Structure 1
Amino acid sequence: MFSEIEHRVTLVLADRSPGGVPVPAVLAYRRQDPFAIRLTFPGICGPDGPDLGDLTWLLSRELLEAGLTAPVGEGDVRVVPTTSTAIRLHLRSGAAEAVLEAPRPSVEHFLRACGTCVPPGEESTVYDWDHAWTDVLGRERS
């Protein structure tokens, strides 16, 4: 059984360019954090060119799965199915927003692999609740 899954995917930034702008990304899943999907954009460059490092968004696994069949999400992350071959990710941070198209078959393949790691609905049985509570309570004391 896998404890970590990474899947490289090319998203398309839906802007005014014909066909959009390809954006490489990595979808990642970790058994020890079974509710979350990490969407990482490696090696983001700043406006003057320096490498700012990776940019990572945390998405709900349940949100991404539900977004394959119906529009879901409020606030900073929304997922909308658009066609049989694509889904749209709306990511917002402050005043900035990006709309990215993801290849639906690739996302479905990734989510199936996540399901072999931790079956849907069984996330709470593998999550380390004791560690999470210790972490939360430790932060409150600081």
Structure 2
Amino acid sequence: MSTVIEQPVQVRLIASAPRMETVPATLRYDPDDPFAVHMAFPAPATLEGAEVSWEFARELLEAGIEEPAGVGDVRVRPYGYDRTVLEFHAREGVAMVHIRTSEVRRFLERTRLVVPPGREYQHLDLDGDLTALLRDAC
């Protein structure tokens, strides 16, 4: 049985209007997918009215709290004292949120206790994945 880590957080949605709205979000880490973290936003916090979840590399989150990181759909960078900015790029536009760096660090520390960096491969089911891939190829 794997230990899934979920941590509710409050993020500030950055908009063109001067007011920044605080919205709930959840950071999630599952050792069965050891390289990834997820950030989910509940339906009331999204334009679509449905929960939205982004998946990106745990390593990206680690790097982005120290210096700008990412060139794709998700980008992370430090911002002032104890703030980190996450940018989520989609065809519809860009969403940016501020999150407390201390909360991100606490979340990452919890993930490292479950799967230390560099040991992710030990949590992969390569034989099972290969079997499924070959079964689907036939």
TM-score with structure 1 length normalisation?
0.86
Check conservation: 2:83, 2:101, Cα contact below 8 A.
yes
Residues 1-142 of structure 1: matches in 2 within 5 Å?
Answer: 3-44=3-44, 51-52=49-50, 54-141=51-138
CA distance change for structure 1 residues 138 and 74 in 2, over 3 Å: closer, same or farther? farther
- Offset at residue 138 of structure 1 (A): 4.3
Check conservation: 1:44, 1:55, Cα contact below 8 A.
no
CA distance change for structure 1 residues 41 and 139 in 2, over 3 Å: closer, same or farther? farther
Identity %: 34
Q: 1:99-126: per-residue Cα shift (whole Å, max 9, x none)?
A: 1111100010000000011011111122
- Offset at residue 11 of structure 1 (A): 0.8
CA distance in 2: counterparts of 1:138 and 1:70, whole angstroms? 43
- Offset at residue 46 of structure 1 (A): 6.9
Check conservation: 1:90, 1:98, Cα contact below 8 A.
yes
CA distance in 1: counterparts of 2:117 and 2:32, whole angstroms? 14
Partner of 2:110, secondary structure, is helix
Partner of 1:58, secondary structure, is strand
Task: Give the counterpart letter for 1:10 in structure 2.
Answer: Q
Q: Which runs of 5+ in 2 are unaligned?
A: none
TM-score with structure 2 length normalisation?
0.88
The count of corresponding residues between Structure 1 and Structure 2 is 138
Check conservation: 2:24, 2:45, Cα contact below 8 A.
no
Q: Which runs of 5+ in 1 are unaligned?
A: none
